[in-house]
Amino acid sequence: MENSTSRRRFLKQTVAVSASLWLADMLYANPYQPLPMWKPQGKPVKIQGIVRSKGKGIAGVAISDGRSVVQTAKDGTFTLIADSNQPFAFISVPSGYEIPTNPTGTALFYKPILANSEQMKVEWDLAPVSQSDSKHGFLVLADPQTLDMDDIRRFQNETAVDVQNFLKGASNRAFFNVACGDIMFDNLSLYSEYEKAVKQMGIPAFQVVGNHDLDFQTTDENSVKTFQKFFGPNYYSFNRGEVHYIVLDDVFYHGNGYMGYLDQTQLDWLKADLAAVEKGKTVVVFTHIPPYTLQFARAGEARPSNSSIITNRQMLYRLLEGYKAHIIAGHMHFSERLTDSNVSIYVAGAACGAWWTGDICYDGTPNGYAVYEVDGSQFTASYKTTGKSIDHQMRLYSAGSDKSAPNEFIANIWDADNTWKVFWYEDGMKKGMMAQRIGSDPLSVEKHFGNKLPQKHTWVEPQQTSHLYYAPFAKDAKEIRIEAISNTGKTYSQVLS
């Protein structure tokens, strides 16, 4: 028989989930209408402290509890009246200083708020960087999404090892890493195994919460408890060189699923965070769910699903007006570059590809991660295939690989967008530009199509993509070479074999 404690717990969870579903219905109806105050404020906690380096205070550093934001004074001291319901006080790590880390390598920029205290003292001691961080880099590992120890072993032995090897040749700049959500595949007990991979990579790691990183059977605000136990705040900011970085939690969990949504508490915090950032500055925002994607149009659907976009993204865009804004996301397990309301969006391919069923995502993008190299306020971005050179940027298919185009060969150039120029050459002679079309990657069709493939997750199916390029096949040509020129002028070349 169920005891009274278990019954009370069950009823409490049922009420909480029912309330969350009611809120979800309101969001579906109008995601731009603020929800009722469902994250009540607690008691004030007076937090006093100092941010310093080598015994000297650092001025102008942002400190927050996720609601209020204050700046350190000239001597590095600050007073923050925090909310006892907020779990952490955290620092926006300033440019010119090393990113503090836990022993595992994950970023340590936060202190727990003692909810039962009326006041507390905290200190941050930061180490100056050994070389200017105006020149730096970062990696975006979207969707490691490990379900079991087989997945973990691949992440540790393939992805982490590849990162190590890449960094050996990139010693001229300091890198950090961002796990862009869905670190887990619902099995949160494997977070400690992810931490081992972070330590193995050897660079500071920031984490974004994804829809598979949550505690289920609860409400949205409680769904990140385990994530926070390992990684701290689920939204925050930091600085490197001339760039201001922001991590947001755009997964709203309503007890029966999720949607892309930024709640008012977080938007208010973001407004306060950006208030101290000079207009015109480059701002990079990391989310799990992209603010927008054209997947729905490629699939012939009328509108995107609420789980594939940020439903109230225009509120985010308004806060980013006046900045050189870039939003980097994962979630989709494909590569896509687009612009929405003058905001540059990059949806990165997945570290796990199609959930570790093979070596590609379901649009043909290889398992891998994005590499950003930053110089001042400018940066270049490339997609790095796990186990291959960073110059590996395309896969070529002979004529007949696409049954709808039997006389054309195909190039899948996964990092390309409409600004890239792709040419083909026959025996050294330039013939013209290849035609960009929507279609399915032939290798993905081979590996994923049908209800029996792939064996590990038979629900995976090929996805339509727009980064396929077609050209007529000349049977008498001895050599066909494809040349792709990126929007930064970098050229990639490969011969059709």
- CATH classification of the domain holding 216: 3.60.21.10
Which of 385, 411, 442 is the last residue before a domain boundary? 385
Residue 21 lies in a domain: no
Residue 422 lies in a domain: yes
Residue 31 lies in a domain: no
Tell me the sheet residues that pair with 50. 77, 123
Q: What angle do CA 390, 394, 395 make, to 5 degrees?
A: 125
CA–CA gap between residue 130 and residue 53 (Å, rounded): 13
Tokens of 16: 């909480």
- What are the backbone dihedrals phi and psi of residue 172, each rounded to the nearest 5 degrees, phi first? -85, 0
Into how many domains does the chain fold? 3
Residue 219 lies in a domain: yes
Residues 402 and 347 in one domain: no
CATH number reported for the structural domain that contains residue 82 in this entry: 2.60.40.1120
Residues 376 and 403 in one domain: no
Residues 306 and 198 in one domain: yes
Which of 125, 152, 185 is the last residue before a domain boundary? 125
Least confident segment among 36-50, 296-310, 331-345, 455-469: 36-50
Neighbours of 415 (CB within 10 A): 23
**Given pLDDT bands bounded at 50, 70 and 90, which one contains residue 222?**
very high
CATH number reported for the structural domain that contains residue 402 in this entry: 2.60.40
End-to-end CA distance of the chain: 69
Whole-prediction pTM value? 0.94
What was the pLDDT predicted at 38? Answer: 55
- pLDDT tens per residue, range 166-216: 999 997 899 999 999 999 999 999 999 999 999 999 999 999 999 999 999
- pLDDT tens per residue, range 56-96: 999 999 999 999 999 999 999 999 999 999 999 999 999 99
Residues 267 and 299 in one domain: yes
Residues 238 and 305 in one domain: yes
Residues 335 and 198 in one domain: yes
Is there a contact between 436 and 466 (Cβ–Cβ < 8 Å)?
A: yes
Q: Where in the sequence is the domain holding 51, given as residue range(s)?
A: 44-125
Residues 369 and 409 in one domain: no
Which of 366, 385, 404 is the last residue before a domain boundary? 385
Residues 248 and 329 in one domain: yes
Residues 332 and 267 in one domain: yes
Residues 436 and 343 in one domain: no
Residue 115 lies in a domain: yes
**Long-range contact pairs involving 235-238 (C-beta distance under 8 Å, separation at least 24):** 235/66, 235/266, 235/269, 235/270, 236/64, 236/66, 236/90, 236/92, 236/109, 236/110, 237/62, 237/92, 237/273, 238/92, 238/93, 238/99, 238/107, 238/109, 238/206
Residue 32 lies in a domain: no
Residues 375 and 420 in one domain: no
Residues 277 and 314 in one domain: yes
Residue 288 lies in a domain: yes
CA–CA gap between residue 160 and residue 489 (Å, rounded): 30
What was the pLDDT predicted at 396? Answer: 98
- pLDDT tens per residue, range 249-287: 999 998 889 999 999 999 999 999 999 999 999 999 999
